[in-house]
Amino acid sequence: MIASAPLPSASPMRVSRLLLVTLRDDPAEAEIPSHRLLLRAGYIRRVSSGIYAYLPLLWRVLQKIAAIVREEMNAIGALETLLPQLQPAELWRRSGRWAGYTAGEGIMFHLEDRQGREMGLGPTHEEVITDLAADLIRSYRQLPVCLYQIQTKFRDEIRPRFGLMRGREFIMKDAYSFHADEACLRSTYEAMDSAYRRIFERCGLRAVAVEADSGAIGGSASQEFMVTAEAGEDLVLSSPDGRYGANQERAVSLPADPVPLEISECRELSTPGTASIEALCSGHGFDPTQTVKVLLLLARFADGGLQPLLVSLRGDQQLNEVKLANAVATRQPPCGGLLDITPLTAEQVEAEGLKPLPFGFVGPHLEDAVLKGARRWQPRFLRLADPTAVDLQRFVCGANATDSHLAGAAWGELTPAPEAVDLRAAQPGDRCLHDPFQRLEAARGIEVGHIFQLGRKYSEALDARFTTEGGVEEALWMGCYGIGVSRLAQAAVEQHHDGAGIRWPVAIAPFELLIVIASAQDPLQVSLAEQLYERLTAAGVEVLLDDRDERAGVKFKDADLIGIPWRLVVGRGAAEGRVEVVERAVGERRDLEVDAAVADLTAAISRQRSRRPGV
């Protein structure tokens, strides 16, 4: 797939010739409105789980989005290119991502060619582009440079979902920038940030930029662009004043102040059957902020390493697994990459040949000795704690013996305080760091774009170097920038629809205007509609003509469903030279003289059509 073919020319586009198949009933497979509507209105068909055919109407939408993306990328000096989808494993081994992307919950489709060479179907293109950069870029004089492509990506998603929202094959714009220094990277990152804002705005989407986790891509700063919608898969936390917004994976906040614990020395507390924080607090009159809960987990690494984790959190806090994974990954770099982290189970402990652990009564002082003799695990815990736990003077925690807790324990006395790392999940209602009088609000969002400052992670791994002005060889600074083009199309539907169907923004609608012939039996209506088709097309409007010999009601229903933003009905007023103009999003109907209708439509549509400012 290459999203670069020109839109069909001004040759008459007739619904009768469009292979338009709309469905009256909702397909059972679709859950969210945008998925249902795209299927019902004849925009997509499912071929396999997470794999869709983009039918002619949607293809026009995708090309319009691609055109806007292209304009904005070109405007900031990015160069369009097209990279291979089939990529050699060797390249991915060099970046250290082959195992992580293919083993375990790996997301890369991979295969062997007839020679037995391993290949992967590109889920992303950092490796290919960096290798090319290494080949092409020799000197600082060639920098900075930014390449992008609009390309089909393949990801063997653990769970494809919601039509185009999370497909296994999808269209993405990805851009990669190369720089001689970090300051230059930052300025391209800023330029991308504003280009992205323009792209989403021009596409008619309400999108917000939020701080994000860099995930498997890696790198330092990263920002996501979220289209706000109920059906969004991500939770965005933001401050009412608009100064802070972050994906919950990444969000930070001020925790509630703990209730002081009025116990001056540590004593044991009999707590039969009290294995949860709630039970402990309600049974013994503690506040959750006075407790420390200990989570035992197991980190699995690409090299086969298994590292037990002992994580301490204040009892009222929730673990943010993304933050934990990042903390673990940076502390155990030589293990070939972190595959996953899962809670430790009693069965696993037994399988290691270890004595049972007092799950539900574990305290932070659990000794490494309990791991002695483990078959495959590292024999010591990686100990991490959230600052909310480390900051407690006295606290209640498990006594490492079933049915027993400690009250009044203190770090130092009990066990040395573990390394403090931010591991807690910020929650809606938490106070904001920048202003404690602001409280975080939650909203759901669809991630349609993500920009990263990668730094030198890939250039170092793939040895992509250039010669500086001073004649020294250095690794390139890199950024990467993605937009889910097909996802964006569906996100637009999610944000712009009503009970009757889609309401495309003009800028990305498959057509700008639909001319409906109320009665295809009436030669007068037909000829007036054909004339209007010619005139409006000549005036530069993208027109679709519904010339089907259907009852008017059927055509109106289909018109609402497929959601073309403007509708011109040639009906019983045709003899008097009057037609009806309807704006889909507003629903208001106006009865106009033909000339007035043409003037009105061309003016309104060109006003709504998104153009680059100044072009």
Which of positions 559-578 make contact with RNA (CB under 7 A)? 559-561, 569-573
For position 53 contacting RNA by CB under 7 A, the verdict is no
Q: Which is nearer to RNA, 285 or 553 (CB)?
A: 553
Sorted by sequence, the CB contacts under 8 Å of residue 258 that are 6+ apart come out as 287, 289, 290, 314, 388, 391, 392
Least spacing, CB of residue 394 vs RNA, in Å: 33
For position 408 contacting RNA by CB under 7 A, the verdict is no
For residues 429-448, which are near RNA according to CB under 7 A? 447-448
Q: Which is nearer to RNA, 163 or 358 (CB)?
A: 163
Residue 50 burial class via C-beta count within 10 angstroms: exposed 0-12, middle 13-18, buried 19 and up: buried
Determine the Cα–Cα distance for residues 465 and 136; give it in Å rounded to an integer: 10
Least spacing, CB of residue 397 vs RNA, in Å: 26
DSSP character string of 341-394 = EEE--HHHHHHTTPPPP-TTS--TT--GGGGTT-SSB-SSPEEEE-HHHHT-SS
Neighbouring C-beta atoms of residue 298, cutoff 10 Å? 19
For position 348 contacting RNA by CB under 7 A, the verdict is no
Q: How many helices (H) and strands (E) does the chain have?
A: 15, 31
Least spacing, CB of residue 353 vs RNA, in Å: 23
| Amino acid symbol at 39 | L
Sorted by sequence, the CB contacts under 8 Å of residue 394 that are 6+ apart come out as 261, 263, 264, 266, 290, 408, 409, 410
Judged by CB under 7 A, the stretch of 19-27, 175-183, 288-296, 302-310 that binds RNA is 19-27
For residues 492-531, which are near RNA according to CB under 7 A? 500, 518-519, 521
173 close to 483: Cβ distance less than 8 angstroms: yes
From 33, 42, 50, 565, residue interacting with RNA (rule: CB under 7 A): 50
SS3 325: helix
Sorted by sequence, the CB contacts under 8 Å of residue 588 that are 6+ apart come out as 582
Judged by CB under 7 A, the stretch of 285-293, 386-394, 453-461, 556-564 that binds RNA is 556-564
Window 293-332: contact mask with RNA (x via CB under 7 A):
----------------------------xx--x-------
Please confirm whether the linkage preceding 144 is cis (ω < 30° from 0): yes
For position 588 contacting RNA by CB under 7 A, the verdict is no
For position 71 contacting RNA by CB under 7 A, the verdict is no
Determine the Cα–Cα distance for residues 299 and 310; give it in Å rounded to an integer: 11
For position 46 contacting RNA by CB under 7 A, the verdict is yes
Residue 212 burial class via C-beta count within 10 angstroms: exposed 0-12, middle 13-18, buried 19 and up: buried
Both structure tokens of 219? 């790198």
For position 585 contacting RNA by CB under 7 A, the verdict is no
Both structure tokens of 75? 């405007």
Q: Residue count at the site for RNA (CB under 7 A)?
A: 72
Judged by CB under 7 A, the stretch of 24-32, 72-80, 281-289, 414-422 that binds RNA is 24-32
Q: Which is nearer to RNA, 357 or 485 (CB)?
A: 485
Residue bearing tokens 């010669």: 467
Q: Which is nearer to RNA, 31 or 368 (CB)?
A: 31
Judged by CB under 7 A, the stretch of 45-53, 58-66, 110-118, 361-369 that binds RNA is 45-53
Judged by CB under 7 A, the stretch of 47-55, 86-94, 353-361, 594-602 that binds RNA is 47-55
For residues 116-175, which are near RNA according to CB under 7 A? 124, 155, 157-162, 164-167, 170, 172
Q: Which is nearer to RNA, 151 or 290 (CB)?
A: 151
Beta strand 473-475 with 465-467 is antiparallel
Window 193-232: contact mask with RNA (x via CB under 7 A):
----------------------xxx------xx-------
